[in-house]
Amino acid sequence: MPDTALPVQPVELPEGAAERYARHLSLPGIGLVGQQRLVGARVLCVGAGGLGSPILQYLAAAGVGTLGVVDDDVVDLSNLQRQIIHPASAVGAPKVRSAAQFIADLNPLVTVRTFDTRLTRDTIGEILDGLDPHIVVDGSDNFATRYLVADTCADRAIPLVWGSISRFSGQVSVFDDGHTLRDLYPEPPEPGTVPTCAEGGVFGVLPGVIGTIMATEVIKLVTGTGTPLIGRLALWDGAEATMRTVCFEPQRGSVALRHTTPPEREQVCTPAPVVTPDGIRETPVARWPELTGSGVRLVDVREPHEWAGGVLGDPLRLPLSTLKTGTLGSLDDLPRDTPLAVYCAAGIRSRAAALLLDRAGFTDVVSLSGGINAWWLRR
């Protein structure tokens, strides 16, 4: 096995497991020993909702020997749009009970331990002491739980697979080897500044995309297959169908983002360039309050239907589709040396808009990488 595998003791496959896991057994990088590691692994999944559903589904199908599931919520009818392990018949039932039944039906070789409780400093310690997981995977949906889980895993040196979703976009990373959530997001946002799924909505298939990536990272860590997302933050924009990766270093107390790779390019971490390959200046969206405070005008280039979900500050509004026609709209009367900071949903359209504005004669234009989704998802 590769040296990147966690110290999970391989165990003999249960009777009848060889046929069930046949496609793993013949897969280079996993094979018999990798599958035995999966069977010997103990994984705690925090949350049995949108992210927890695909995480639990694929980890159970892959043959993780022991799955712990913690959630104190019950199944609601509005959950069924995206929480695919819960049937309509489970509405009103505890999510951990519904999840355990789903796993038992999918793979009876998996041992499930359920914890129908809210995580606090006391309960998380008791759960971790009792389960002794090799990995924790966080599919929770609130900031208090995310920071509690991340801080506790960092203190106990337990690898953490982390993910977050909002509307059409999501993020995934692995915190281990000195990397923590607070390296990316030192503090949680102020209450009420980030819309919940109930307030802002969520694309039904988005948890499936992000949760499946999270399950992938767990399996990679257990088996030592591939390169885990340690020190890298993957950002998926479902509306634009783009994935990019931001690299960061362990650095408590401050954001340490270094480099953003273009979509569908090789993901290599190098020092951050001042100018992108297409000649566009780019800076993290987290800087927008600082920029506007120094006189920079924000420009929102999303489409009008997206503005209803919220904007950054008091932006000028110029959809990219309009800009592509050569129309400058609210920007037409601005002096061409006006400093502009352009943003969209995830930082892709803003780069295209920045290039068009540069061609239109504006001399001080910067694209806000990550877009408004990254701002909403900041921790």
Q: Into which CATH architecture does domain 281-376 fall?
A: 3-Layer(aba) Sandwich (3.40)
What confidence tens digit (pLDDT) does each residue in 221-252 have?
A: 999 999 999 999 898 888 888 888 878 777 64
User: Of these residues, 45, 153, 247, 344, which one is catalytic?
Assistant: 344
User: Would you state the pLDDT for residue 262?
Assistant: 37
Please work out, in degrees rounded to the nearest 5, the angle formed at the alpha carbon of residue 67 by the alpha carbons of 10 and 58: 90
User: Of these residues, 153, 197, 247, 269, which one is catalytic?
Assistant: 197
Q: Tell me the Cα Rg of the chain.
A: 22
More confident residue, 348 or 36: 36
Q: What type of residue is 369?
A: S
pLDDT of 272 strictly over 60: no
List C-alpha distances in Å: 366 to 161, 184, 202, 331, 356: 33, 22, 29, 15, 12
How many Å apart are CA 215 and CA 207, to the nearest integer? 12
User: Would you state the pLDDT for residue 46?
Assistant: 97
Query: What's the first-to-final CA gap in the chain, in angstroms?
Result: 35
User: Would you state the pLDDT for residue 289?
Assistant: 86
**pLDDT band at 156, cuts 50/70/90?**
very high
What confidence tens digit (pLDDT) does each residue in 58-116 have?
A: 999 999 999 999 999 999 999 999 999 999 999 999 999 999 999 999 999 999 999 99
What confidence tens digit (pLDDT) does each residue in 300-309 have?
A: 999 988 887 7
Does 17-260 match 281-376 in CATH topology? no
User: Would you state the pLDDT for residue 376?
Assistant: 79
User: Would you state the pLDDT for residue 308?
Assistant: 79
| Fold (CATH) for 17-260 | Rossmann fold (3.40.50)
Look-up of token digits 């061409």: 336
Quick check: is 153 catalytic?
no
For residue 38, give the DSSP letter.
Answer: H
Contacts of 73 (CB under 8 A, 6+ apart): 48, 49, 94, 95
Given a contact cutoff of 8 angstroms between Cβ atoms, the answer to whether 257 and 284 are in contact is yes
What confidence tens digit (pLDDT) does each residue in 3-21 have?
A: 456 789 899 999 889 999 9
For residue 57, what is the enclosing H or E element? helix 52-62
How many Å apart are CA 341 and CA 362, to the nearest integer? 11
How many Å apart are CA 128 and CA 152, to the nearest integer? 10
User: Would you state the pLDDT for residue 116?
Assistant: 97
Given a contact cutoff of 8 angstroms between Cβ atoms, the answer to whether 325 and 342 are in contact is no
Given a contact cutoff of 8 angstroms between Cβ atoms, the answer to whether 279 and 358 are in contact is yes
Quick check: is 247 catalytic?
no
Tokens, residue 261: 């790779």
What confidence tens digit (pLDDT) does each residue in 180-230 have?
A: 998 888 887 766 656 666 667 788 899 999 999 999 999 999 999 999 999
Given a contact cutoff of 8 angstroms between Cβ atoms, the answer to whether 238 and 203 are in contact is yes
Query: What would the DSSP string read from start to end of 95-139?
Result: HHHHHHHHHHHH-TTSEEEEE-S---HHHHHHHHHHH--SEEEE-
How many Å apart are CA 275 and CA 60, to the nearest integer? 45
Question: Domain spans of the chain?
Answer: 17-260, 281-376
**What is the separation of C-alpha 84 from the centre of its chain, rounded to a whole number of angstroms?**
18
What confidence tens digit (pLDDT) does each residue in 322-370 have?
A: 999 999 988 988 999 999 999 999 888 999 999 999 999 999 899 998 8
User: Would you state the pLDDT for residue 63?
Assistant: 96
Look-up of token digits 């990088």: 29
Kindly report the pTM of this predicted structure: 0.69
Q: Hey, which residues does 113 pair with through a beta bridge?
A: 68
The predicted model gives 307-320 an average pLDDT of 89
